[in-house]
Amino acid sequence: FRFCVVQVITIGRHVKGYHYIIANLGFVDGDLSKIQYGGANVSGFQIVDFDDPLVAKFDQRWEALEEKEYPGADSKIRYTSALTYDAVQVMTEAFRYLHKQRIDISRRGNNGDCLANPAVPWAQGLEIERALKQVRVEGLTGNIQFDQNGRRVNYSVNIMELKNSGPVKIGYWTEADKMAVTNPEVLQNDSLGMENKTVIVTTILEAPYVMLKKNADLFVDNERYEGYCVDLAAEIAKHCGFKYQLKIVGDGKYGARDAETKIWNGMVGELVYGKADIAVAPLTITLVREEVIDFSKPFMSLGISIMIKKPQKSKPGVFSFLDPLAYEIWMCIVFAYIGVSVVLFLVSRFSPYEWHTEEYEDGQIQTSESTNEFGIFNSLWFSLGAFMRQGCDISPRSLSGRIVGGVWWFFTLIIISSYTANLAAFLTVERMVSPIESAEDLAKQTEIAYGTLDSGSTKEFFRRSKIALFDKMWTYMKSAEPSVFVKTTAEGVLRVRKSKGKYAYLLESTMNEYIEQRKPCDTMKVGGNLDSKGYGIATPKGSSLRTPVNLAVLKLSEQGVLDKLKNKWWYDKGECGAKDSGSKEKTSALSLSNVAGVFYILVGGLGLAMLVALIEFCYKSRAEAKRMKMTFTDAMRSKARLSITGSTGENGRVMTPDFPKAVHAVPYVRPSMGMNVSMTDLS
């Protein structure tokens, strides 16, 4: 019998949907505790009625015996022993009857010979057989009497049913009445005595769901624990009206079925094999688990998420003031600046309205020349001034030039406004650059390893998934060396923290969010959830606790108790502050590193200006030396004196620089002469 029970449990066929009939007459003799809570319908027969006064009296005498002298005296008598006892009693009554009839039953001088041919029977055998058939006594197995064929008649056998409360008599069987059900309500309700029974609640040590108190040694039983599920179990027990005892699962696992032995481990195994009545823990509702146990409505919704080590916050770089616009935009702005300047130069050259006449006197000769202020350098200067929102001392005169200037002003208005709007955020916020943002990022790289809990729903999700992305991730995880699977969530978190960003842990989002709020605050959740699922309270198949527990969960959800419990254990007790909350002091002031690039550009610009000025000084001195037919050194000395004092030479004549404007010669007619065209160079 014990071997059969073990085999049934091993293949997982002791759950709801299976019916077993134990084919012996001692239903209560075997150990049924292993399949008592599995949900399977187990029936059997019991020939020894322990409620019978004769049996009760025998039990008292049996239990009074010394166990050393009478092995088995410490337990109730088995049905085989009871049948043996009754058989001896029948023989005693038969021989007593023969003795009263003065029938000699001795074998003296009347030995039978079974080996003779033909066999020689014992002469008194027929008398003994006749005496046995006439015996009628009350034994431990009930009424004992036989018919003419020697078969036992007029006896009854109790019909038993295995319930959560233990073996229960539901009726009896007799030869005359056949099967008679005397306790039909037991077939419909197996909650007999639940109010007076202590419910075993299996759970797992997992923060913040179930944790040992700091001074747990000072407490006993349920008072030693605290956490979300501890409070939830208390609320459910209060609504359902039963006493309970928390029991930490021995192997520290949630529950998965071994692929070879088909045996369930963890909390699921505790329920399947009758070691617990209910599981209040972060136990994910899955199809394979639902096949062997029952779940309540979800008390918490969640999904698989990615945990990585929080990257160090990167301070703004030297040229972080360029970050508000992408480098592609800056390149486009440079090309636009050059293009606008060239277009402005061209339209100013070809538009006759951009040229104007400037009159001046040169001794006795009076000339009139057309000038154009938008040479290539002035065009570049105008475009740069407009982009910097500073303007310059020249502006287009022609309509075409003003159109170019107008669209350039509109362009710079939008660009500068957009840049200014984003500048503060990029300079004041210390950003974290995450190497992983989604499951796709994990799957397409091999530098960062990733794994799950070795025995749980997350691993099962990847193993059974048909989605190409998740299947690719599962192929990597199961073949990775060293193994990327961890035995506990705490081990997975520790591995993330010590891997220096080279390991990502896949776990439920609720646990990820909780750990993110715990010191040393060096982990973070990235990306969205990979799936959507829920935690449920589990009970064995067919358990009477399923309905009241389910109703209790719904009631707690409607009353907002579940939300209060989550806020209490996730955020009210957080150690890292609110998520993404920055310090106002840090964002209100800029450090030198934030704007160092601006100072570098300023210093670089000043240096470039000094260098250009030196080049201009040398170039002009060389040109002046050639024109005045003097040495280069004297020319530089003269220019230096002009730069310092504003005069050159002993005569004090001021030498003004000669930078001709772009001019366009027009015909000039003297009043007393005919037409005479004088041309000047274009520059």
The helix/strand/coil state of 429 is: coil
The helix/strand/coil state of 370 is: strand
CB 427 within 8 A of CB 594: yes
Was 412 annotated as part of a binding site?
A: no
CB atoms within 10 A of CB 72: 12
Was 141 annotated as part of a binding site?
A: no
DSSP string computed for 28-41: TTS--TTTTTSB-E
Was 289 annotated as part of a binding site?
A: yes
Pinpoint the alpha helices (H) of 206-257: 228-240
Would you mind telling me the total number of residues written for the chain in this entry?
A: 683
Q: Which of 242, 252, 253 is nearest to 277 (CA)?
A: 242
CB 292 within 8 A of CB 244: no
Helix (H) or strand (E) holding 476: helix 468-479
Strand 198-203 relative to strand 243-248, pairing = parallel
Was 71 annotated as part of a binding site?
A: no
Strand 243-248 relative to strand 523-526, pairing = unpaired
What are the angstrom distances between the C-alpha of 437 and each of 426, 449, 590? 20, 14, 29
Strand 41-46 relative to strand 19-22, pairing = parallel
The helix/strand/coil state of 652 is: coil
- What does the angle CA 267 – CA 204 – CA 547 come to, to the nearest 5 degrees? 55
Written as six digits, the tokens of 678 are 């004088």
DSSP state of 675: E
Was 352 annotated as part of a binding site?
A: no
Strand 365-372 relative to strand 668-669, pairing = unpaired
Torsion of CA 116, 118, 119, 122, to 10 degrees: -120
DSSP string computed for 11-80: TT-SBTT-EEEE-SSBTTTS--TTTTTSB-EEEEEE-S-TTSHHHHHHHHHHHTS-TTTSTTTTSPPPHH
Was 84 annotated as part of a binding site?
A: no
CA 592 from centroid of its chain's CA atoms = 40
State the Cα–Cα distance between residues 390 and 405, nearest whole angstrom.
14
Strand 662-665 relative to strand 142-145, pairing = unpaired
What are the angstrom distances between the C-alpha of 79 and each of 28, 120, 154, 342, 562? 9, 37, 18, 112, 52
Binding-site residues, in ranges, read 282, 284, 289, 457-458, 508
Q: Which residues are annotated as a binding site for L-glutamate?
A: 282, 284, 289, 457-458, 508
